[in-house]
Amino acid sequence: MENVFGVVLAAGQGTRMKSSLPKVLHKVCGKELLSHVIDCMNSSAKLKKLIVVVGNASELVIKYLEQYKNTEHVFQKERLGSAHALLQAEKKLKNFSGHLVVMCGDTPLVKARTIKDLLKWHIRNKNAATVLSGKVQNPLGYGRIVRNSEGRFLEIVEEKSATYEQKKINEINSGIYCFDLKVLWKALKKVDNKNSKKEYYLTDVISILNKYGSKTDAVDLAREEDILGINDRTQLAEADMIMRAEINIKHMENGVTIVDPVNTYIDKDVIVGQDTIIKPNTHIEGKTKIGKNCVIGPDTTITDCKIDDNVAIEYSCVEKSQIKKNVKIGPFSHIRPETVLKENVKVGNFSEVKKSVVGDGSKINHLSYIGDAHVGKKVNIGAGTITCNYDGINKFKTVINDEVFVGSNVNLVAPVTIGKKVLIAAGSTITDDVLPNKLTIARARQITKVRKNK
């Protein structure tokens, strides 16, 4: 394979989004538009360089790009159009020969397979430019692919410049192109801005290359829903719906039961094991990994978690935590970041756990708050138990060793350590450490008196 390079055009204002966030950082299925495009580029070819053209709110986009080791960026100072944007990449590419794939940063649904096919076609036919086109129901807003009577590709006409007849053409420009680097820059410099938007249109490079006698082609390889460009919030929601359906189908094909796919929201990078059942109105977000035979939902949100096999979670929120085998969470629990629930743990009925490790077989089943704690194995945390971990300034640790039985409504004032097999009487407020195997009571003795005036 010859050298392949990539450029993502991501400098546009995104005016129609009406947002302070740059358009390419808006998310579809939990991932930024730009991220979808970069991932697509990287999986479609082994790129020698991947250059992102930034402009609008560039500091944010540049910062965002830091996570991608193989990308570089160039800055488009003024937004003069897509041709001008691509020209900014010349300084990084002018000493190279090979092929260039250009994508817009606002088309998150494109498949890597499609780009691979486009590139293959481009190289095999020795084209100077190959445009990925698609036949669509509604071409409104897209550039139209204009061909002569023999079907030869002549030019791309933008919506605003199209004649009445051209507007009827339903083969549109996806905004994805392959170029031969040898001829690109010269042609790009010939593009002018004599159009109603006074922009340098990248699409005009086609008629210029045709004039030079270079070979150009538009190939209708894309499905309408794959090339949807996101320009406003309605299209953002539409893209989300399309991608969500695709993600759900992929999981179902892999052996996951999704009871109600329309109301199940799984982010792009989530992994789910076979025979797991996902019930309605469940959101599984970020880099979550779920094992086999789990039952998740209904009404549950899981973000960036690692969940092992046979776990059941219902009506709960779980964030940035590790959940080991056979754990049961919910109904109505909140597991907050940096928590580890080890095998066979149960947390349920309005209990919250934060930044704590809970050992094998321990139970926190009713109305508790456990924060900054280390809970050993087979510990029973009684109903209403609270770790008092915060004095208003600092956070302190609570250690509850194996097989401790904490009675109901106990306050554990941290820092405090409870030895192995201790029994804490109900209603106690524990402020001092307790040695192993003791019974500890810290509450006022009950006094019963004669009731007056009765």
Beta bridge partners of 380: 363, 405
Per DSSP, 450 falls in state P
3-state secondary structure 24-56: HHCEECCEEHHHHHHHHHHHHCCCCEEEEEECC
Query: Judged by CB under 5 A, which stretch of 43-51, 230-238, 355-363, 421-429 contacts Ca ion?
Result: 230-238
What residue 398 binds from ligand UD1, Ca ion, none (CB within 5 to 8 A, per partner kind)? none
Q: Which of 50, 51, 53, 329 binds ligand UD1 (CB under 6 A)?
A: 53
Query: Judged by CB under 5 A, which stretch of 87-95, 103-111, 124-132, 154-162 contacts Ca ion?
Result: 103-111
Q: Which of 36, 84, 334, 377 binds ligand UD1 (CB under 6 A)?
A: 84
DSSP codes joined into one string, 337-359: SS-EE-TT-EE-SS-EEES-EE-
Query: Judged by CB under 6 A, which stretch of 8-16, 360-368, 425-433, 446-454 contacts ligand UD1?
Result: 8-16
Query: Which is the catalytic residue, given 84, 283, 366, 374?
Result: 366
User: Residue 172 interacts with ligand UD1 (CB under 6 A)?
Assistant: yes
Query: Judged by CB under 5 A, which stretch of 207-215, 228-236, 285-293, 410-418 contacts Ca ion?
Result: 228-236
Residue 299: left if φ>0, alpha if ψ -120 to 50, beta else—which one? left
Q: Which of 156, 184, 221, 272 binds ligand UD1 (CB under 6 A)?
A: 156
Q: What span, in angstroms and rounded, lies between the C-alpha atoms of 252 and 261?
A: 9
Residue 110 contacts residue 37 (beta carbons within 8 Å): yes
- When the beta carbons of 75 and 390 are compared against ligand UD1, the nearer one is 75
What residue 142 binds from ligand UD1, Ca ion, none (CB within 5 to 8 A, per partner kind)? ligand UD1
Binding mask 177-216 toward Ca ion (x if CB under 5 A, else -) reads ----------------------------------------
- When the beta carbons of 156 and 434 are compared against ligand UD1, the nearer one is 156
Residue 300 contacts residue 283 (beta carbons within 8 Å): yes
How many residues touch ligand UD1 under the rule CB under 6 A: the total is 30
- Mark whether 84 is an active-site residue: no
Residue 199 contacts residue 81 (beta carbons within 8 Å): yes
Per DSSP, 395 falls in state B
3-state secondary structure 132-195: EEEECCCCCCCCEEEECCCCCEEEEECHHHCCHHHHCCCEEEEEEEEEEHHHHHHHHHCCCCCC
Whole-Å CA distances, 208 to 129, 186, 201, 280: 11, 10, 12, 54
CB of 221 to ligand UD1, least distance (A): 15
Residue closest to 172 by CA, chosen among 145, 200, 193: 145
Q: Which of 55, 229, 376, 382 binds Ca ion (CB under 5 A)?
A: 229
User: Residue 387 interacts with ligand UD1 (CB under 6 A)?
Assistant: no
Name the one residue in this structure whose structure tokens are 């969500």: 244
Residue 36 CA from chain centroid, whole number: 9
Q: Which of 6, 108, 229, 297 binds ligand UD1 (CB under 6 A)?
A: 229
Q: Sort strands 386-388 and 411-413 into parallel, antiparallel or unpaired.
A: parallel
Binding mask 176-215 toward ligand UD1 (x if CB under 6 A, else -) reads -------------------------xxx------------
Residue 397 contacts residue 374 (beta carbons within 8 Å): yes
User: Residue 105 interacts with Ca ion (CB under 5 A)?
Assistant: no
Q: Which of 25, 85, 323, 416 binds ligand UD1 (CB under 6 A)?
A: 85
CB of 49 to ligand UD1, least distance (A): 17
Q: Which residues are catalytic?
A: 366
Q: Catalog residues that contact ligand UD1 under the rule CB under 6 A.
A: 9-12, 53, 55, 76, 79-82, 84-85, 104-107, 142-143, 156, 158, 172-175, 201-203, 229, 231
